Structure formats: C-alpha cells, structure tokens
Amino acid sequence: MAQELYFEDINVGDAIPSVKKDPVSKDQLWRYGGASGDFNPLHMDDEWGTMAGMGGRIAHGMLLMGFVGQAVTNYVPKKYLKKFSVRFGSMTKLDDVITISGNIKDKRTENGGNIITGELLATDQNGDMKVTGTFEAALPSKSV
C-alpha cells in the first residue's frame, strides 16, 4: 500500500499522511487482547478499570503504538523501517477517536545509508496527546 519511496522524494518538514481511526470499541480491545496475548483486565473489564481509578477500561498502550505503526508503514515501506519508538501519554478510553499525524524531521546520508527520521503524534478527539512516536528509515536512492 505504501508507495515506493526514494530518498530524493523526501524533504525535511514533509507531512506524513494522517490516519484517523474508527472509535476505539470493546470489540477492538477484545480482538487486540487475543492477537497480542495481553489480557490484562484493565483492558477487558470496565469494573476493573474503574477500581484502578481509570473510569472504565483503557486501551492497550501497544494498540496505540500499532495505530502509529499503521501511519508509519502506510507512508514508508515496512522493509525500509530501521527504528520505531513511542512514549505513552494519557490513557485511551472506549469511543476515543485517535488521529495520527506527523512530519519528517531530518534526512542525512550516514555510512552509505540514506536515513530519514520522522516524528508522529497520536491525539484524541479533544486534542489530548496519547502517544508520541519517532521512526528512522533507510531509503533507496534514485541515483544508485
């Protein structure tokens, strides 16, 4: 799905196409629990989340990282991805609508590789920051 991407095509400041997710649902958290193997009741059970002071169940942090990863490999082919990291911000709850956006922060040639770095942000419908992410990719060059 990601278009082929060349180092020459990228400029610092370029926007990474944003991705708007469907509202986080119980169904999604159950499915993500099964897929990832994380059945922590905090993500599965509203009562548990309420007891923990979260006001209901909360989404898996790694699901949010998955959302950010979707935005990354929607833009940069997975095969070129070298590093990807996130820091978690506020908790994501049911019905939150997460949007991921970002831009290119740096491009450089290093040890013969054509490296780009990008930063991303996942926010909810109120603009609250859920996750910040960075990635590094090594792209092919048109001249080689």
Partner 1 sequence: MADKSQVGREYELAPWEVERCKIKELAWAIGDPNPIYTDKEAAAKEGYQDIPAPPTYATVPGNWQSNTGQFMDDLGINYMMIVHGGEEYEYHKEIYPGDVISGKTTVASVVEKESKSGSKMDIVIIETVYNNQNNEKVLTARTTIIERK
To partner 1, the closest distance from the beta carbon of 116 in angstroms equals 15
To partner 1, the closest distance from the beta carbon of 77 in angstroms equals 6
To partner 1, the closest distance from the beta carbon of 68 in angstroms equals 9
To partner 1, the closest distance from the beta carbon of 39 in angstroms equals 8
Q: Is the dihedral of CA 31, 137, 19, 98 positive or negative?
A: positive
Distance CA 83, CA 67 (A): 16
Q: Is 28 exposed, middle or buried (0-12, 13-18, 19+ CB in 10 A)?
A: middle
Contact residues for partner 1 (CB under 8 A)?
A: 1-2, 21-22, 28, 31-32, 34-38, 61-63, 65-67, 69-70, 72-74, 77-79, 81-88
Name which of 10 and 76 has its Cβ closer to partner 1: 76
Name which of 54 and 107 has its Cβ closer to partner 1: 54
**Terminal CA-to-CA distance of the chain, rounded, Å?**
24
